[in-house]
Amino acid sequence: MLNITLPDNTVRQYVEGITGHEIALSISEGLARNVLAIQVNGEVWDSNRPLYADANIKLLTWNDTEGKAAFWHTSAHIMAEAIELLYPGTKFGIGPNIENGFYYDVDMGERVLTEADFKALEDKMLELSRENQVLLRKEISKQGAIDHFTAKGDEYKLELINELTDGEITLYESGKFTDLCRGPHIPNTGFIKAIKVMSVAGAYWRGDINRKQLTRVYGITFPKQKDLTEYLILLEEAKKRDHRKLGRELELFTFSQNVGLGLPLWLPKGTAIRERLEAFLKKVQRNAGYVQVMTPHIGDVNLYKTSGHFQKYGQDSFQPISTPIEGEQFMLKPMNCPHHCEIYKFKPRSYKDLPLRMAEFGTVYRYEQSGELHGLTRVRGFTQDDAHIFCLPDQVKSEFVDVIKIVMIIFKALDFKDFTAQISLRDPNNKEKYIGTDENWDKAEQAILEVCKENNINAVIEYGEAAFYGPKLDFMVRDAIGRKWQLGTIQVDYNLPERFELEYIGNDNQKHRPVMIHRAPFGSMERFVAVLIEHCAGKFPLWLAPEQVSILPISEKYEIYAKNVSLLLNNYDIRSKIDNRNEKTGKKIRDAEVERIPYMLIVGEKEEAEGTISVRKQGDGDLGSFSIEAFAALINDEITKLME
RNA sequence: GCCGAAAUAGCUCAGUUGGCCAGAGCAGCUGAUUUGUAAUCAGCGGGUCGGGGGUUCGAAUCCCUCUUUCGGCUCCA
């Protein structure tokens, strides 16, 4: 008998060779109907694969991430089968599940797959799913696998097989289609009830720009039609929140072909938001002991040779500008750190001066590939809320923690409740991508790992994601509709201080090397504002809204009273405008609602007589009659709730 | 940069076997109306149909090319 431990730690006994499906049946028939796969000692298996040893198991359904993964993995398999049936001769690359659905990379030769083909592909997939095909797991020798795919002429699979170890190779067979596949799969294809082919795109084989570009077909599937409908509604909601659309509608920013690709033009209302964000962060930083500096937009090429940026990114940058007579070479500033290092070197520093926290809203320019540009999230000229903390080695951890606190203050003020962290370390197998010694890297990486551990920051570790001069901790937020965005970053750097020969005099009267922390809690103003727009769907927190209040006189008879109200609000630092257009009140309300102005104040005969205002909240409707003082208190409360 | 799709008025879009001076709604301007919690009425102006080239008696519509935008890939200091 086997001892099988369930997630709630109860242990049940079963005969050897029992399968996940049979275990589920022994618990309840309903569960058995919904089990997609089984987790065995942390590894996901097919639910019909027999167990021959004691194990900790978890039965996976659609509600588990791993269950969805198996579901979509099988869906990718079905899509490949459908493609093979519809377009014989297609060669197959890889077909994994992804966060939302799955894709398959295929080589269709000369044939081009377009949206017009999606319907036929979906229909064929549905047909296959309705056959309730069982995916048969087959262990196969390496030679057997090579023979199979040689006969089929599928060079991509052969390449994958060559990298696998003999004895660990499995095929999955369903219908007439056999795929090289590690599994796991759901019990049969009948679970897949709703299918949508989403898009096609080119994708380099194995992500290598020098290799052939395959056709990547994206799809998503669900166990119920209703789930698909809900997913499509969510996509519609995302479209409505698109910062590029809202940026135009709310007059926040624009781009002009005449100015150039990826160079944003901030309109007055967008500028108002950005300046308020900057003022907010400056205040937080002033309280945290930062000093503001300013540096120019260009710098001598040699500055970036010293930092290593030129060697690393020179080819991918805007090329240096040459002066006409002397032939000096200047680069558009791609980073602020070299300039800040030079400010550090302005005078000898004592250990008593450290930590020196130097902040700048520094505008930088990077040559992003044209196909990469995307609204405000990927641009060629942007402003970092940058700062560099120069500190003693034993100050690194406490400074790092203080930066994390600033990041948290910002997330709270802007209502990002759900966030995760990622520790980005060096790729240990690819050290030539980075500058600096192993010793420095170890120190920097240890500092981040220890800080996260000591402060209970639950961060995933990613190797190979570090900056070229140091490891980093990045913060990812989840927005109001569940999408993940990377925002703030904190980096520990032992290397640039060395390259710039930064020094301080210690209490031993000897020269020592400081450590640098690079940090940007917003990341860049452009990207942050873009994420914020999508997070709040254009309904900015009250303290940020370019216009907080629209005063709506019922008719021109009450314009003088409206003006008085506006002046009184000014005394409370409440930003208002008067809508004195020759329109009906309903129209003025509608327009203020569409413009996402947080409050509307309706003033007419009654209000003028009583010295009150009729308050309407955006999205919520009529709040009733208020005195100016009471309204100011309401506004004040709403703002301080987020900012404290 | 690469693969695919798209580009018509400030915005959203119609015009889809090539054929009357290219249309609508919103926005704008002018006038009437003096308005009470999500669109008052009337009139007017506005487009080299992304640029260039070609096919044709005739092109927004077909072909070539360039540009830009969108979805991905690669990249992201």
CATH number for the domain harbouring residue A158: 3.30.980.10
Summarize pLDDT for A539-567 with one digit per residue, the tens.
Answer: 999 999 999 999 999 999 999 999 999 99
- A182 as an active site residue: the answer is no
Domain contains A256? no
Summarize pLDDT for A92-109 with one digit per residue, the tens.
Answer: 999 999 999 999 999 998
How many Å from the CA of A359 to C1' of B58?
Answer: 66
Which nucleotide lies nearest residue A249, CA to C1'? B11
pLDDT at A120: 92
What Å distances lie between residue A454 and A329, A426, A443, A446, CA to CA? 46, 21, 16, 12
Q: What range does the domain containing A112 cover?
A: 66-237
- A339 as an active site residue: the answer is no
Is A587 (CB) below 7 Å from strand B? yes
CATH number for the domain harbouring residue A575: 3.40.50.800
Domain contains A381? yes
- A225 as an active site residue: the answer is no
Cβ atoms of A77 and A177 within 8 Å: the answer is: yes
Summarize pLDDT for A449-485 with one digit per residue, the tens.
Answer: 999 999 999 899 999 999 999 999 999 999 888 888 9
Of the CA atoms within 13 Å of residue A605, those in its CB half-sphere come to 0
Count of domains in chain A? 4
Domain contains A270? no
- A472 as an active site residue: the answer is yes
Proportion of chain A above pLDDT 70, given as a percent: 100
Question: Phi first, then psi: what are they for A599, rounded to 5°?
Answer: -130, 145
Residue A642 has pLDDT above 90, yes or no: no
Same domain flag for A314 and A338:
yes
For the beta carbon of residue A249, count every other beta carbon within 10 angstroms.
Answer: 12
Is A236 (CB) below 7 Å from strand B? no
Domain contains A271? no
Domain contains A253? no
Same domain flag for A504 and A360:
yes
Same domain flag for A337 and A398:
yes
**Among chain A residues 330 through 369, which have CB within 7 angstroms of nucleic chain B?**
334-335, 337, 366-369
How many Å from the CA of A593 to C1' of B25?
Answer: 20
How many Å from the CA of A500 to C1' of B71?
Answer: 43
Domain contains A543? no
**Of A111, A120, A125, A115, nearest in space to A200 by CA:** A115
CATH number for the domain harbouring residue A44: 3.10.20.30
Is A555 (CB) below 7 Å from strand B? yes
Same domain flag for A86 and A57:
no
- A366 as an active site residue: the answer is yes
CATH number for the domain harbouring residue A305: 3.30.930.10
- Chain CA centroid to CA A299, Å: 31
Same domain flag for A491 and A583:
no
Cβ atoms of A145 and A173 within 8 Å: the answer is: no
Same domain flag for A150 and A31:
no
Domain contains A277? no
Summarize pLDDT for A396-415 with one digit per residue, the tens.
Answer: 999 999 999 999 999 999 99
Same domain flag for A78 and A177:
yes
Same domain flag for A358 and A462:
yes
Same domain flag for A584 and A511:
no
Same domain flag for A602 and A638:
yes
For the beta carbon of residue A536, count every other beta carbon within 10 angstroms.
Answer: 20
Which nucleotide lies nearest residue A464, CA to C1'? B76
Element (H, E) at A128: helix A118-130
How many Å from the CA of A290 to C1' of B59?
Answer: 64
Same domain flag for A320 and A221:
no
Domain boundary among A181, A211, A237: A237
Domain boundary among A488, A504, A536: A536
User: What is the C-alpha to C-alpha distance for residues A299 and A304, in angstroms, rounded to an integer?
Assistant: 8
Same domain flag for A522 and A558:
no
Cβ atoms of A394 and A351 within 8 Å: the answer is: no
How many Å from the CA of A275 to C1' of B8?
Answer: 38
Residue A644 has pLDDT above 80, yes or no: no
Options A39, A384, A395, A548, the catalytic residue: A384
Domain contains A194? yes
Is A258 (CB) below 7 Å from strand B? no
Domain boundary among A178, A211, A237: A237
Task: Please report which confidence band the pLDDT of residue A641 belongs to, taking 50, 70 and 90 as the band edges.
Answer: confident
